[in-house]
Amino acid sequence: MIQKGTQGMTDSVSSRVMWRTSSYSGDGGGQCVQVGKCGGMALVRDSKHPEGPVMALKAETWNAALDQIKRGEYDLD
């Protein structure tokens, strides 16, 4: 995890990232994440605390996780 201001993730870099929020978020807030891209990395942050820590993942790792989610591997049935 990268805290802004350390390890190269500055406020100016984070402010230039085009952050996307899940369409499932709705207006109620909920527990959602925002995702952005920067230099071949997928960046993930808490939508309720955008000034907080940012997790940086290799694009391949992020895409593999998304595929697993879509297949239902993390469903809590």
What's the pTM?
0.70
Greater pLDDT, 44 or 3: 44
Query: What is the 3-class SS of 2-63, one letter each residue?
Result: ECCCECCECHHHHHHCCCEECCCCCCCCCCCEEEEEECCEEEEEECCCCCCCEEEEEHHHHH
For residue 2, is it within any domain? no
**Residue 6: is its pLDDT beyond 50?**
no
For residue 24, is it within any domain? yes
For residue 1, is it within any domain? no
Q: ∠23-54-25 over CA atoms, to 5°? A: 15
For residue 77, is it within any domain? no
For residue 39, is it within any domain? yes
Element containing residue 66 per DSSP (H, E): helix 59-70
pLDDT tens, residue by residue, 8-63: 455 556 678 999 987 766 666 566 889 999 988 999 998 888 888 999 999 999 99
**Residue 77: is its pLDDT beyond 80?**
no
For the chain, the domain total comes to 1
For residue 22, is it within any domain? yes
50 lies in which domain range?
11-70
